[in-house]
Chains A and B, each alone.
Chain A
Amino acid sequence: MTGFRRLDPVSLLVAPAVGYLGLVYGLPLLLLLGHSFVVDGTPSIASFVRFFADPFDWMVIANTLRIALAVTLVSLVIGWPTAIALARAKGAAQAAILVAIILPLSVGVVVKAFAWQIVLRRDGVVSQALVWLHVWDEPQRLLFTETGLVVGAVNVFVPFMILPIYSVLKLVDPRLDEAAATLGAGPFFRFFLVALPLSLPGIVTGVAFVFSMAVSMYVVPSLLIGDRFQTLATLTGRSFLFMRNPQLGSTTAVVLLVLAVAVVVGSAKLSRRFGGAS
């Protein structure tokens, strides 16, 4: 990209999308930003000062990051091997795995969250199964716990980890692994010096997808952990809907936006340095 070129007519194809997003997303976002930096009609960062002075708000930030990181990590641990299996599978087996990953996306998040409410109850199947297996002595409630929230959220987001990794892996030449082996690299070395760096672009995309969705999820925590546990997203919702405090709501929204962008961009940068030129 050196200097300006004449406008490519093909680039006009993005105009509808840019126009739409600009109107219904960009403009409200700007208004929101403006709201958080204006107090009583004058520009001020007073609302941020107040926000960061309150230990409760720090706890909300910690909650948000802890849950998002846990969801991303569990999704990665489950999703990466699945993506490898999917990329190596052939024919009917591959189609079956793909359908199993994509079909659940057609079930809405609200429906899934309600379903998990039933599954995670004190008398739900998980509790009963663990008692039956003698892992637990008596039925326990997983609903309204952080564990329950992570389990439910991973279920919703894991396809967004699997699919980007899979799309990168299926383009990797299987001969590269053979070449590494003939050059004297054992399985461990091959994994860290060939397989990992080559799947890294997919992992970065998957992590960015899942983290940005998990850090901002609203419906899933509302239904699976409730009001006693606040994240930046649910606090933003409460500020606008229940507390009628758009000042606080726009402030938490901005904090959330900055955090999410920082983590996604930062992890991409970090992985690029770690993975070398790719």
Chain B
Amino acid sequence: MTTTPGFLDVAAAAKTFGAATVLDGVDLAVARGEFVSLLGPSGCGKTTLLRIVAGLIAPDGGRVVLDGDDITRRPPHRRDVGVVFQNYALFPHLDVAGNVGFGLKARGRKTAEIGPSVERHLDLVRMGAFADRPVKALSGGQQQRVAVARALAIEPKLMLLDEPFSALDRKLREAMQIDLKRILREVGTTAIFVTHDQDEALTMSDRIAVMHAGRIEQLGTPSEIYHRPATAFALDFVGLSTRLAGRVVSASGGEVVVETALGRIPARANLYPGSAAVVGVRPERIRLDAAGPCTVAATLTDVAFQGARVLLHGAAAEGDRVLVEAPSLPDGAGQGTRLTLSWALEDTLVFPAEGEAS
């Protein structure tokens, strides 16, 4: 993804609530038609960023530019930004069609125009048969669909979705994720999606912004985020990984060696000798042999059966973690078995420890 001037451009957005800095000068550029997720734990500022783009809170500093218009100071009702709220926020005094038609009515459109639009958008979310139901009579998933249709009916330049599936059970959530992607692709709407669920972000997004403590730590495609996490936080937050704390003992020509509790591990990185570092390896990259070039030994402590694969947990020091994915439990292995683990040099991910200058 090249950095073209964004369809949505957020520049240096900042917000503090009292003494707490919630957003610490965030930049975000989103291309037309793109689906970008803001992923992070609660309190990372992702919802605040979304609400600033929606115009529901004013930033202390920074700019929001949408389709060439600076909308930083524009009230929400003049932004053309559709929002799907976490609890849906459907109007309880209106029926399904009344909810979906609300935005067009607010824009002063004629009834003859509202009717067909409501019908089209309800069909899009497969809720056509429910037009005259009261919203209170709908299930959570159905309310979710109506909320999506309501936001789409205003034909917004930008869709913002604030953890829209967090109240749904897992099966329904996965079905809705696929459905929402299909709908947004059909309509061609640019969307920003807030979630704390990494699987959801990986499944749905064109790009993911991993947020932590009011900043975007990494912005990239799901594959980039997973395979090439930019920080130790991104490594931890997205996907599973072996994680070993250590210290750089030598560095030369773009390669370092990190001393960890399980031994010395080589990696490609530019870090100063003596600095604290974190080494990470994705579990599916680790082989149960000594082929190297990175080789360590660990004691098997736990086996988690996951259907098509097993996840092996190794003994690790406080704060460390050893995780290996294998097709099945090796013959004769059990708790306490000594395992030899190895992986390729390029699969060693290494980061300066948090709080350490790189």
Contact = CB atoms under 8 A, between A and B. Distances in A.
Contacts of B150: 183
A109 to B, nearest CB: 36
* Interface-centre pick from B55, B80, B81, B89 (highest chain A CB count, 10 A): B89
Contacts of B82: 182-183
Interface stretch (B34-42, B91-99, B123-131): B91-99
Interface string A140-180: 00000000000000000000000000000000010110111
A179 B93 contact: no
* Interface-centre pick from A176, A179, A183 (highest chain B CB count, 10 A): A183
Nearest to B150: A183
B92 A180 contact: no
Interface stretch (B65-73, B100-108, B328-336): B100-108
Give the size category of B's interface with A.
20 to 34
B91 A175 contact: no
Contact of A276 (B81, B94, B103, B105): B94
Interface stretch (A33-41, A77-85, A193-201): A193-201
Contacts of B83: 178-179, 182
B134 A185 contact: no
A189 interface: yes
A186 interface: yes
Contact of A180 (B80, B98, B102, B134): B102
A198 B109 CA distance: 23
Contact of A184 (B77, B89, B90, B134): B77
A179 B55 CA distance: 11
Nearest to B147: A179
A98 to B, nearest CB: 26
B91 A178 contact: no
B102 A183 contact: yes
A176 B93 CA distance: 11
Nearest to A200: B93
Given A178-B56, A276-B94, A278-B93, A184 B87 contact: no
Given A181-B76, A182-B83, A176 B89 contact: yes
B106 A189 contact: yes
A182 B76 contact: yes
A175 B82 CA distance: 14
B188 interface: no
Give the size category of A's interface with B.
20 to 34
A262 to B, nearest CB: 26
A178 B81 CA distance: 12
B137 to A, nearest CB: 11
A185 B106 contact: yes
Nearest to A186: B77
B263 interface: no
A173 B77 CA distance: 18
Nearest to A181: B76
A183 B146 CA distance: 14
B93 A185 contact: no
Contacts of A275: 93
A53 interface: no
A277 B76 CA distance: 27
Interface string A234-274: 00000000000000000000000000000000000000000
Nearest to A171: B92
B54 interface: yes
Interface in B268-283: none
B135 to A, nearest CB: 10
B154 interface: yes
Given A182-B56, A182-B76, A277 B95 contact: yes
5 contacts: A179-B89, A183-B151, A186-B75, A186-B77, A277-B134
Interface of B: 54-56, 75-83, 85, 87, 89-95, 98, 102-103, 105-107, 134, 150-151, 154
Question: A-B pairs with the 4 shortest C-beta distances?
Answer: A183-B103, A185-B106, A175-B89, A179-B89
Given A183-B77, A276-B98, A277-B134, 8 more contacts: A176-B91, A178-B76, A178-B83, A179-B91, A182-B55, A185-B106, A197-B93, A198-B92
